Amino acid sequence: MNRPINAKNSSGKKEEEIASVVNRRLFLRSAGLATSLGTIVISAACSDDDPDPMIPGTGDAVDLGSGDIGVLNYAYALEQLEAAFYEQVIKTPYAGITDAEKTILTDIRDHEVVHRDFFKAALGDKAIKGLTPNFATIDFSKRDAVLGAAKLFEDTGVAAYNGAGKLLKDSGYLLLAGKIVSVEARHAAVIRDLINPKSADFAGDDVLNTDGMDKAVAPADILAAVKGYVTDNITGANVGK
Amino acid sequence: MDIFKIIDDIQRIDGDALGRMEFASRRHFMNRIGSKVAQVAVPTVFASIVNKAFAQSAGAVDVLNYALTLEYLEDEFYKAGNAAANLIPASDKVIFTQIGKHETQHVAFLVKALGAKARTKPTFDFKYNGAFADVFTNYKTFVTVSSALEDTGVRAYKGQAGALQADPQILEYALQVHSVEARHAAMTRRLAATVTGNAAMKGWITGKEGAVPAIYAGEDNMTQGGKDLTGLASKSNAAITEAFDEPLTKEAVLAIAGPFIKS
């Protein structure tokens, strides 16, 4: 089990939800499944990359919706995470940050905040809620940790927008996504150059394929990849459909 | 050649491809029972499927040939720059070698995708009617032109996204190249800022800040999705214009690139 029962208590879940989980576990046990096989079944159901209908998570359920609105909410969700990340970076700068680095990271923060607030305004009453990020695994006091996370977020953002483009039906939305993704790619290149200056990493062979192309990744895979950075349980099964 | 990956890619573009390939392979098999079947069947069947897979619409062929023109231009530019003696300092060689590699890969991909419909390579004049006379002898000029070409590439691909909506897989490939051009642009802009001493030039485009003004027309747009974003999130106009890159029409791009293209 990934999460002890008492973690759910502290998250404020209703007692009957916990009781029902316990009851299901007891049922499995009494049915003779609490063997090694049963353990595998249960731990698989609790896996972090598989939203688990059996065990309530610690955060809220957030459905991105369907069609173009789903894609825009998907972008809004990612921009929320990026904006929150850079807001924290600027609020608690890592040890030894240079003026040049601070200028770059402040610029990027501003771009992500603009993207986030733009999507929120554009979506209006169709916008998902404000998400609760979870950056517990990122040590904001360390340069390597912060720039490493920034690289991950930017490369992920590029792959996400590239993969979402063909899901959009409205050409105006497609153009908007295009206007934003190239800015994310600029961020990715600059962050990568901060990590390994004057190297090939700004458009590195670790992220590009042998046709000289960036990744394009489907929403389900992106959501699984960022799941650890947000407490909400985001589902996007109907994004673009 | 990873034939299985390619077949898989084609299958995603053209759902009938595998069926036709199997049918054709079976016919080959029945007609020519022998050990050479596997070697013969795959390439011939494959060639016919590639054409079908990529030539989905006349519009897409036009866009891909337009992209090929620009990729040829970039590829030739970096081949010449990387080959020029005493142009690129040792510290920056790896950067332009990497960029040049990608442009060569983009050309190869587009030529393969277009097959017989691929345009021939134009002949270029990188001196731009004399405006960049020292482009391959003066590093400042080289970096300046490089950043301008990359930013133009970003704007050009962006401007064609809508024209590829009927061809989703080609749209995705175009987006995957588009973001790589943006990575190049950010890197070369920062080099240009250092080499030319222009601190206002960042990896992203503030207002319409760039080395060649005509290329940046409209980059200072403040209206997105029909909304004037002035004051959004209490951010400056500079930050808001940096947050969105703007497209260029094919006509505008060809007007910019025209003096580079002799024929």
Q: Each residue's pLDDT tens digit in chain A (241 positions)?
A: 344 333 334 444 444 444 444 444 433 333 333 333 333 333 333 344 444 444 444 689 999 999 999 999 999 999 999 999 999 999 999 999 999 999 999 999 999 999 999 999 999 999 999 999 999 999 999 999 999 999 999 999 999 999 999 999 999 999 999 999 999 999 999 999 999 999 999 999 999 999 999 999 999 999 999 999 999 999 999 999 9
Query: Residue A106 and residue A193: Cα distance in Å, rounded?
Result: 16
Interface test with A, best of B9, B175, B204 (most A CBs within 10 A): B175
Per-domain boundaries in chain B = 3-54, 58-218+247-260
- Does A75 touch chain B if contact means CB atoms closer than 8 Å? no
- Does B187 touch chain A if contact means CB atoms closer than 8 Å? yes
B23: left (phi over 0), alpha (psi -120 to 50) or beta: alpha
CA distance B42 to chain A (A): 22
Is A80 within a domain?
yes
A127 lies in the same domain as A16: no
- Does B235 touch chain A if contact means CB atoms closer than 8 Å? yes
Looking at residue A85, its pLDDT comes to 98
Is A170 within a domain?
yes
A38 lies in the same domain as A155: no
A139 lies in the same domain as A209: yes
Chain B positions touching A76 (Cβ under 8 A) are: none
Q: How many CB atoms are closer than 10 A to CB A4?
A: 9
Chain B positions touching A121 (Cβ under 8 A) are: 227, 232
Look at B179 and A189 and tell me if their CB atoms are within 8 Å.
Answer: no
Is A131 within a domain?
yes
A79 lies in the same domain as A105: yes
β-pairing, A233-235 with A61-63? Answer: parallel
- Report yes or no: B170 and A216 within 8 Å, Cβ to Cβ: no
C-alpha pair distances (Å), A135 with each of A17, A109, B171: 27, 16, 34
Is A53 within a domain?
no
- Report yes or no: B53 and B17 within 8 Å, Cβ to Cβ: yes
Residue B261 CA from chain centroid, whole number: 17
Look at A202 and B173 and tell me if their CB atoms are within 8 Å.
Answer: no
A33 lies in the same domain as A83: no
Q: Which domain holds residue A22?
A: 5-45
A82 lies in the same domain as A175: yes
Report the 3 state secondary structure along B105-165: HHHHHHHHHHHHHCCCCCCECCCCCCCCCCCCCCHHHHHHHHHHHHHHHHHHHHHHHHHHC
- Does A166 touch chain B if contact means CB atoms closer than 8 Å? yes
A192 lies in the same domain as A93: yes
Q: Which residues of chain B have pLDDT under 50?
A: 1-52
Looking at residue B54, its pLDDT comes to 53
Chain B positions touching A213 (Cβ under 8 A) are: 105, 109, 173, 176-177, 180
Does the domain at B58-218+247-260 match CATH 1.20.1260? Answer given as yes
Least CB-CB distance to A190: which of B157, B169, B186? B186
- Which DSSP letter does residue A131 get? P
CA nearest to B174, candidates B62, B37, B6: B62
Query: Residue B28 and residue B239: Cα distance in Å, rounded?
Result: 61
Look at A182 and B235 and tell me if their CB atoms are within 8 Å.
Answer: no
Burial class (CB in 10 A: 0-12, 13-18, 19+), A178: buried
Contacts of A126-130 with CB under 8 Å at 24 or more apart are A126/A65, A126/A69, A126/A72, A126/A73, A127/A73, A127/A76, A128/A62, A128/A63, A128/A64, A128/A65, A128/A73, A128/A76, A128/A77, A129/A60, A129/A62, A129/A232, A130/A80
- Report yes or no: B139 and B82 within 8 Å, Cβ to Cβ: no
Residue A24 CA from chain centroid, whole number: 30
Is A54 within a domain?
no
ipTM value greater than 0.85: no
- Does B172 touch chain A if contact means CB atoms closer than 8 Å? yes
Looking at residue B21, its pLDDT comes to 42
- Does A165 touch chain B if contact means CB atoms closer than 8 Å? yes
What CATH number does residue A186 fall under?
1.20.1260.10
A220 lies in the same domain as A166: yes
Exposure pattern of B209-239 as b/e (b: 16+ CB <10 Å)?
bbbbeebbeebbbeebbeeebeebbebeebb
A114 lies in the same domain as A230: yes
Chain B positions touching A163 (Cβ under 8 A) are: 172
List, in order, residues 6 or more apart from A102 with CB less than 8 Å away: A90, A93
Q: A239 - beta bridge partners?
A: A67
Report the 3 state secondary structure along B217-249: CCCCCCEECCEECCCHHHCCHHHHHHCCCCCCC
Q: How many domains does chain A have?
A: 2
Contacting B residues, span 29-88, partner chain A, CB-CB under 8 Å: none
Looking at residue B230, its pLDDT comes to 98
- Which DSSP letter does residue A93 get? P
Query: Residue B213 and residue B217: Cα distance in Å, rounded?
Result: 7
CA distance A90 to chain B (A): 15
CA nearest to A79, candidates B209, B244, B154, B173: B244
Look at A213 and B203 and tell me if their CB atoms are within 8 Å.
Answer: no
Least CB-CB distance to B177: which of A121, A165, A213? A213
